Structures are given as structure tokens and as C-alpha cells.
Amino acid sequence: MIEAGASAPDFSLSNQDGDTVALQDLEGQYSVLVFFPAAFSPVCTDQLSVYEEVLPDLRARDAALYGISVDGAFALKAFQASVGTTIPLLSDFHPKGGMAKAYDVWVPERGVATRALVLIGPDLTVLWTHRPSSPLEIPGANLIFDALDAVAA
Amino acid sequence: MTPSPPDAGDLSSSPLPPVGEDDHVRGDGPLVIEYADLECPYCAKANLLLAELPVRRVFRHFPIVSKHPRARILAHALEAAGMQGAFWAMHGSLLGDQGHLDDPHLWQRCEQLGIDVARFDADRRSDGVAERVERDFRSGVRAGVMTTPTLFVDGVAHPGVPDAGLIARLNR
């Protein structure tokens, strides 16, 4: 997976509403990319639900979250409503997994991204990454705050 | 409902707080610290399993409002019931019937449990109750809780409904 210190690879994806979100849009803020394997799997439902609860704290730290999966934008729209989250969800659908491959979180034998977090700084440099030992393991929201503390120190 | 106040402190990793004086504790036996959401069906199932076990049980709030819109309202209601000495009675009542969680149902439960409804309504909307619930939630986030229920046994987190192995271990 991509390592801290690297320039964040460029991307341009559709969000759940069909609007384009590109790397340049992340300039000037801390951004947490939340790669997850698939919409509607119970595990990522919990992950995004808990992240949603701490969004006010993340905003206070000038940090924004983006969920990314290989699902189509319409599926992500339905998933967003189902989870009740306001976190924007980016569709890495075509070419499938293009962004996941660029960030080296692609699982070729399953055709999805693995579960992973990538923190990108205001200057679009990768500051921190986290990949759980198993996709069933959900990275705690506390880890994101640990990373923000570390880069602010 | 109540957004986390950004000035309420960091959410970085921090060990699970030990059992404190204002924790809700019941029973004797091995210590089980539980983070739960009162609208979560898995928490209701875990409650049935834990009720049968000889454990010292600590309940902490972990409302996930995006998933369960009434979760924080119910957490506040449970705290308010606790202020009238009916914490575990209301806890059992709410988790025992998650199909009736609107305000009129809460008032009806109060009447059945001998809780003063006017006082309950004032208490559940108080800042003190909101802060109490938020403190639990934030301590859970800092300890890495990401799903409900999550049980801590011997300091180790067990996310989800306790499995047969954990139940057997606690049932000694």
C-alpha cells in the first residue's frame, strides 16, 4: 500500500450524487480516505456509522472523510441513505478499482479494495496509512485522531 | 441529536476507563464492561445472554444515531430513569421491547415502573444527562469501540453478540 511521504496519486471519481471529486479538491484540508470492500456489507456499515458520529470532531480538526469502494454511484447513493451517513462516497467503478490500484490497496483475486485508511495533508502529501490485518477488522475512529495528533505535533 | 462538542476533548486512543463511581453496575462475578446502543437488536440479544450469567456487569452508552435515530434519546431516557433509581428496570424494559420506543411508550413504561413522568421528562433533557451519555460514548471511541455491543472482558474487546466460547468462559 502507498506509504507516508509519497505524493497522493491523482484521481477523479464520481460521488454518490454523480458529482466529480478529484484530488485537487482535497487541497487545503486534511482528508481521510476510507477504502472499503463493498457497500452494504455489515462491517463497513458499522465503520461508516461510527465515523459519522465523530464528524463534528473531525471538522473541528479541519479534516474531511471520503468513503471509496468499487460500487457504482447509484449503489453508493442507496448505501449512504441506508447507513444514514453524510460522508461522501466515491465510486471507483470505471475503470474498476483504478484508484484502489493507484493507492495499492487493490485485492486482485476478489476484485475489490481492501479495508484501509489514508490520511492526506493539505499539500496533498500522504501523511499516514493504516491497513488492518484482516478486512473484517474495523479501524477504530480513535486511530484517525491519533494520526491527526501525530501530524500536528 | 446532540453533536459531539468539538471542545469536549480529544478522541485519540486512550485505555478503557476503569469502573467508576457513576458507572451503572449490577451483579457479581467476572467483570464485563459493555458498550451498547438501546435501539440495536444485537444489544437486545446480548442482554438476554448476559442476564443469564453470573457476571458483574457495567453498562455504558454507545448510541449510533446515524444508524438508530432514537438511540441517543433512549440513552438520555435511561439515565433519567436511573436518577429515580430505575436504571436497570428501564434498561430491561427498553431492550425487552424495541418495537415501542416513541415518547408515549416511554411515558407508559415510566408509569409501569413507578417513575415520576414530569421529573423524567425534565431530567432526560438536562445538560447533565447529555454530558453523562456523551462521556460514555467518547470513552468507547477512544478505546476503539466500533460496533455494538462491544464487551470488554479482562480488558480485551469482544465486538458483537457474545459467542458460545465467551459465554462458556463467563459462565463459571
A146 contacts on B by Cβ (under 8 Å): 12-13
- Report long-range pairs for B99-105 (Cβ below 8 Å, ≥24 apart): B101/B38, B101/B39, B101/B70, B101/B74, B102/B70
User: What pLDDT, on a 0 to 100 scale, did the predictor assign at position B4?
Assistant: 46
- Gap between the Cα atoms of B169 and B156, Å rounded: 13
- Domain assignment of residue A4, yes or no: no
- Gap between the Cα atoms of B170 and A54, Å rounded: 33
Calculate mean pLDDT across residues B30-52: 97
B146 and A138 within 8 Å at the Cβ level: the answer is yes
Query: In chain B, pLDDT over 90 holds for what percent of residues?
Result: 94
Residue with cell 433533557: B125
Helix or strand holding residue A119 (H, E)? strand A116-120
pLDDT in tens, A82-140: 888 999 999 999 999 999 999 999 999 999 999 999 999 999 999 999 999 887 889 99
Any idea what the CATH number is for the domain that residue A38 is in? 3.40.30.10
Cell of A143: 486511530
Instruction: State the average pLDDT for chain A.
Output: 95
B141 contacts on A by Cβ (under 8 Å): 50, 53-54, 140-142
Separate counts of helices (H) and strands (E) for chain A: 5, 9
Enumerate the active-site residues of A: 44
Asked if B165 is an interface residue toward chain A (Cβ–Cβ < 8 A), one would say no
- Distances, alpha carbon B53 to alpha carbons B32, B84, B96, in Å: 10, 26, 17
Architecture of domain B24-170: 3-Layer(aba) Sandwich (3.40)
pLDDT in tens, B60-114: 999 999 999 999 999 999 999 999 999 999 999 999 999 999 999 999 999 999 9
Per-domain boundaries in chain B: 24-170
Range of the domain at A136: 12-152
Note the pTM of the prediction, 2 decimals: 0.94
- Domain assignment of residue A63, yes or no: yes
Residues 6 or more apart in contact with residue B92 via CB below 8 angstroms: B47, B51
Cell of A8: 497522493
* pLDDT at residue B8 tops 70: no
Residues constituting chain B: 172
- Gap between the Cα atoms of A36 and A116, Å rounded: 7
- Domain assignment of residue A134, yes or no: yes
CB neighbourhood size of B40 (10 A): 21
Q: Which residue of A has its CA nearest to B142?
A: A142
**Interface list for chain A against chain B, based on CB atoms closer than 8 Å:** 45-50, 52-54, 56-57, 59-60, 83-85, 138-143, 145-146, 148-149
A45 contacts on B by Cβ (under 8 Å): 67
Burial zone of B64 (CB within 10 Å; 0-12 exposed, 13-18 middle, 19+ buried): buried
Helix axes B71-82, B103-113, angle to 10 degrees: 20
Helix or strand holding residue A66 (H, E)? strand A63-69
User: What pLDDT, on a 0 to 100 scale, did the predictor assign at position B31?
Assistant: 97
User: What pLDDT, on a 0 to 100 scale, did the predictor assign at position A44?
Assistant: 64
Helix or strand or coil: residue A63? strand
pLDDT in tens, A57-68: 999 999 999 999
Residue B144 is nearest to which of A46, A47, A142, comparing CB atoms? A142
- Gap between the Cα atoms of A28 and A21, Å rounded: 15
- Domain assignment of residue A5, yes or no: no
